[in-house]
Structure 1
């Protein structure tokens, strides 16, 4: 699950991303990201380093208190992910227990395949940079001015970076396209993958706007 914080050296991070694009032979690609990845997508858009950016519940539009809440919840999930995998498998296999375990991150956790839930828990457990990123991101706020098409889409049932933060995103990014993701939580790719795909394609101009 993407962390809600952001490294303090954003110029260095975005420069590294641009170098990565070049290494893969990508010239100003379309980008999309969720939470931390959403913030990075917006920063790249502000640089004009991409052709378009889709940000799903992006970091950078919350108060200090809201950010502490997000990091606390994600830290608790990371601690829980350290349970032995057989225990996690039994936990995720029971619909009621899966809702209890993942309901803060997903609005519809039972739509997620069991193996995907285990893979997410494993990734969160093994995220060695989690604490460093969380510490570095405590003072982050997005203040860029994108020069390319941007969509900001927010899950209406987001409990990590709550939907009310979308109002601030609308204020700071008046030229962007702002969309609601009805019934989706913080990680909408699992809650409604078809909707998320259509939002991204609409930003790129490939699909319906």
Structure 2
């Protein structure tokens, strides 16, 4: 194999990621509905036909973005929660800290911002995001909370409903920032949110010490 052939192969292998990077940039700038495949191709420096070769639709592009960036995080979270043994508050702290660290990266934050902005007009986006992220983490988190109740770490709570209290404030925080421009000058300030959220959450679900 010649050096030119090797370079061409490496370039071909990198192209799907380059297209996804371009798609995310265009989705953030234009919005999912207004974005055009021609603009994504131009941003990536490839032809429109090449974009369609890898991704047959804008929905497929967004799904590719989610699968590349967020699905692995969800899979890792599920694995950690499933094998965690001890006080579930430690696991929750670990999980939410990881999420907050990931969302501190503007490139990763852009993905839930696009999803939250477009789910009303494009229900298929919500279904895809639920399938690739939410439906993976939710059962593992509910099981963790149930084990915490059984072990006496947590007071009797409804694990399925309590999940909303664990994850909900992060979703609302991002929505306020992305959709309503709340706290835009200070930015997301995820560490401040995490400290406040864990304090309120743990005071709500922790078992009362006699």
Higher RCO (C-alpha 8 Å, min separation 6): 1
* TM-score strictly above 0.5: no
Structure label with greater radius of gyration:
2
TM-score bracket for the superposition, by shorter chain length: under 0.3
User: Which protein is richer in strand relative to its size?
Assistant: 1
TM-score by length of structure 1 reads: 0.27
Structure with the higher helix share, 1 or 2: 2
